[in-house]
Structure 1
Amino acid sequence: MKYITKEVRIGIAGIAALCILVYGINYLKGIHMFKPSNYFYVQFQNINGLTKSSPVFADGFRVGIVRELYYDYNQAGKVVAEIDVDPELRIPKGSSAELTSDMLGGIKMTLLLVNNPRERHEVGDTIPGRLNNGIMEQAAAMVPQIEKMLPKLDSILASLNAVLADPALPATLHNVRDLTASMAVTSRHLETLMSKDIPQLTGKLNTIGDNFAQISNNLKDIDYAAAMQRVDSTLANVKMITDKLGRTDNTVGLLFNDPTLYNNLSATTANAASLLEDLKAHPKRYVHFSLFGKKDK
């Protein structure tokens, strides 16, 4: 132990402190130096500012970090990111990676895992990646459509200004206000009608319906067969009387069918008329009155 001098102790302490410092820095970056991990490669055309130690997520859960970034000088526009993920994570074949921006401007990588229970990527495989600009990309896609709409918007604004400058607009608004007031009054009248008159009318209709139901029940109780028999009997009696009126073997038939009665009545009427005319012409022949006694004609 005599060879362990003070300088050696200071050197060992310095090396230990340096190791602890390196481990602490990597730990703060999310790199666990003594924990087993799986390495995969993700290929992008644009990493949009992705840096080392950026988090890697799967279904919103952090599963690893970006260990290294490489630019493929053999294929322009190809950037490869080496990611370190949890050994227990299984990446099915057909999965991909996506770069998204958070609210603070940072870039994170998200693994889009597919449902493929039969095949999976082995350690060291390359996974396709793409860039998702989110709202900015959607806004950029909408810019050409907005540019096409600007002339139409100008035309619409010009038409709107022309309408607002029309002097008839205040009168129209005044008419609309009067119409609204009239509709309010009509609405109140309808409310009164619905609350008072309609229930009364409904009650009367119900009473009429009950009366019809009662009449129907009364009609149902009528013996229509007996009534029809009585009607037939009455019609037979009427027919019999009509037949007798047409014959001359009875007094009423003689009155209606014998012309002698008519002739006698005509003669009697003529005599009565002649008598009245003679009475008017010679009243003294039929009425004689004297205070001194009767005179001989």
Structure 2
Amino acid sequence: MKLITKEVRIGIAGIVALCILIYGINYLKGINMFKPASYFYVKFQNVNGLADSSPVFADGVRVGIVRSISYNYDQPGDVIVEVEVDTELRVPKGSTAELVPELMGGVRMNILLANNPRERYAVGDTIQGTLNNGMMEKVSAMMPEIEKMLPKLDSILTSLNNIMADQSIPSTLHSIERTAANLETSSRQMSRLMSRDIPQLTGKLNTIGDNFIVISDNLKEIDYAAAFKKIDATIENAKMLTEKMNSKDNTIGLLLNDPQLYNNLNSTATNAASLLEDLKTNPKRYVHFSLFGKKN
């Protein structure tokens, strides 16, 4: 009699296949049945679509998975999530867990580890959880403001369309383009002026400044007191000369102030002019020249 019959072998093969199937399903879920792990409970008011076997992260590193999610019927409004984490993970007291929606869909759980090296949660303790909507929450908060802005944006777009439809806009743009070209030309000319003419002007100004310095040094060497004395003496002499010219007790004064002398000199000049004129007209009357003697 055979100890292992055909039926026994079939049963053993079915059990082995079932174990392999269970292990494979758990492995695909991220559950390692042969690796020791510890577990905690996290209490949420809303899991926001969190599913079993979802990954659990701490500081950006995957440290466990979600084993199960159950609704607390004794305290409505609470959802208990069982989390399996690595045995090496120490969860300090004061730590919390948060659910963060991902951009591609789904929800990820993050354990926010507190800075408390002295105390830690024991296996099976309950951690408080929160829901962090991230950018979606900020967008939801901004939606009322955006709705208020939509009519204003519509009116602004209408005004812009009316402005762009105006026929004067192209000519204005061409004018602006020409103005920009003129500004560019002016800028180039200014650059040439700054690079060529300004240094020359600066050199000339420096030369003028040096000349002023030389003139200033020369002016410092002038004896102003002696110069003013000479000027005063010259003015005094001019004053004396003027007084003498106005006085009649000298020749120049008589010449300038005596009308009779002036009249006599004028009469003498007139007679001399008449004599010269008569001499030119009748020279024989005044000069006689003959080789044979005088004639009667």
Instruction: Give the Cα separation in 2 of the matches to 1:184 and 1:292.
Output: 96
Distance 1:74 1:189, change over 3 A: same
AA paired with 1:23? Y
Q: Describe the SS at the equivalent of 1:260.
A: coil
AA paired with 1:55? P
Greater alpha carbon shift after TM alignment, 73-82 vs 199-208: 199-208
Q: In the alignment, which of 189, 214, 217 is matched to residue 218 of structure 1?
A: 214
Unmatched segments (≥5 aa) in structure 1: none
Could you say which residue in structure 2 is the equivalent of 1:171? 168
Equivalent residue runs for 1:141-290 within 5 Å: 141-164=141-164, 169-195=166-192, 197-216=193-212, 218-219=214-215, 222=218, 224-225=220-221, 227-228=222-223, 231-237=224-230, 239=232, 255=244, 259-261=248-250, 264-265=254-255, 269-274=259-264, 276=266
Q: Describe the SS at the equivalent of 1:79.
A: strand
Instruction: Give the Cα separation in 2 of the matches to 1:124 and 1:160.
Output: 64
Q: Describe the SS at the equivalent of 2:52.
A: coil
Name the count of aligned residue pairs.
278
TM-score (ref. length: structure 1): 0.74
Distance 1:32 1:291, change over 3 A: closer
**Residue pair 1:245, 1:256 contacting (<8 A) in 2 also:** no
Greater alpha carbon shift after TM alignment, 236-245 vs 109-118: 236-245
Instruction: Give the Cα separation in 2 of the matches to 1:253 and 1:140.
Output: 108
**Residue pair 2:255, 2:261 contacting (<8 A) in 1 also:** no
Tell me how far 1:68 sits from its aligned partner.
1.7
How big is each residue's C-alpha offset from its partner over 1:78-97, in whole Å with a ceiling of 9 and x where there is no partner? Answer: 11011110011111222222
Could you say which residue in structure 2 is the equivalent of 1:81? 81
Greater alpha carbon shift after TM alignment, 45-54 vs 237-246: 237-246
Q: Describe the SS at the equivalent of 1:111.
A: strand
How big is each residue's C-alpha offset from its partner over 1:182-218, in whole Å with a ceiling of 9 and x where there is no partner? Answer: 33134214313422x3333213223223313532553
AA paired with 2:170? L
How many percent identity over aligned positions? 42
Tell me how far 1:66 sits from its aligned partner.
1.3
Could you say which residue in structure 2 is the equivalent of 1:43? 43
How big is each residue's C-alpha offset from its partner over 1:87-138, in whole Å with a ceiling of 9 and x where there is no partner? Answer: 1111122222222344553333221223222322221111122233444444
